[in-house]
């Protein structure tokens, strides 16, 4: 159970850093197959090695186990930059983030869209694209009014 989770999470986070398993193993001071063995569920890291792995990944152990945070290092970097902003700038960024989050497709929406596709969808896609562009223009205009 834990072997599978740790293996999959480690592989995903390592790939986000664009490092090979061999390279990561050697940087951690281990033999060249160390990370490969963990990712292939042949072994688990010791507690000390796990902390070194998290340090290499730029995350905390808590963030390693947080599946709701698929890119913990990027989120940490963003939070550090946000801490440097004044209140007005923070409000603008919050508005943009909320707007983007609302536009993210939900898993159910994606499945329904795939089921409902047929040959006439190309024409509909052009209409939808134009509507999306108009909506984005409205969103940008709204954000500009909030900035002034």
Report how far apart, in Å, the C-alpha atoms of 126 and of each of 35, 73, 117, 130, 132 are.
47, 37, 14, 6, 10
Regarding whether 103 and 137 lie in a shared domain, the answer is yes
Q: Is the residue at 137 inside a domain?
A: yes
Q: pLDDT, tens digit, for every residue of 121-137?
A: 444 445 555 555 666 66
Q: pLDDT, tens digit, for every residue of 25-42?
A: 999 999 999 999 999 999
Asked whether 76 and 59 are in contact (CB, 8 A), the reply is: yes
Res. 22: pLDDT tops 60: yes
Domain end, chosen from 38, 70, 102, is at: 70
The pLDDT score that the predictor gives to residue 67 is: 86
Domain end, chosen from 46, 70, 94, is at: 70
Res. 139: pLDDT tops 80: no
| Structural domains of the chain, count | 2
Regarding whether 48 and 10 lie in a shared domain, the answer is yes
Query: What is d(CA 124, CA 130) in angstroms, rounded to the nearest whole number?
Result: 10
Confidence category of residue 119, pLDDT binned at 50, 70, 90: very low
Q: Is the residue at 28 inside a domain?
A: yes
Regarding whether 54 and 11 lie in a shared domain, the answer is yes
Regarding whether 8 and 64 lie in a shared domain, the answer is yes
Query: What is d(CA 147, CA 141) in angstroms, rounded to the nearest whole number?
Result: 10
Regarding whether 62 and 20 lie in a shared domain, the answer is yes
Domain at 62, CATH number:
1.10.260.40
What are the phi and psi torsion angles at 40 (to 5°)? -95, 15
Regarding whether 91 and 60 lie in a shared domain, the answer is no
Res. 118: pLDDT tops 50: no
The pLDDT score that the predictor gives to residue 145 is: 63
CA count, 13 A, side-chain hemisphere, 8: 9
Which residues form the domain of 14? Answer: 2-70
């Amino acid at each position: 159970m834990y072997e599978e989770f740790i293996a999959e999470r480690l592989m995903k986070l390592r790939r986000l850093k664009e490092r090979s398993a061999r390279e990561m193993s050697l940087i951690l001071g281990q033999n060249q197959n160390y990370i490969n063995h963990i990712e292939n569920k042949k072994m688990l890291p010791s507690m000390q090695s796990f902390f070194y792995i998290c340090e290499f990944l730029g995350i905390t152990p808590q963030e390693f186990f947080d599946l709701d945070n698929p890119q913990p290092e990027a989120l940490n970097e963003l939070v550090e930059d946000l801490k440097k902003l004044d209140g007005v700038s923070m409000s603008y960024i919050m508005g943009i983030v909320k707007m983007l989050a609302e536009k993210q497709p939900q898993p159910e929406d994606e499945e329904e869209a795939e089921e409902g596709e047929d040959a006439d969808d190309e024409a509909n896609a052009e209409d939808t694209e134009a509507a999306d562009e108009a909506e984005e223009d409205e969103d940008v205009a709204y954000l500009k009014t909030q900035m002034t």
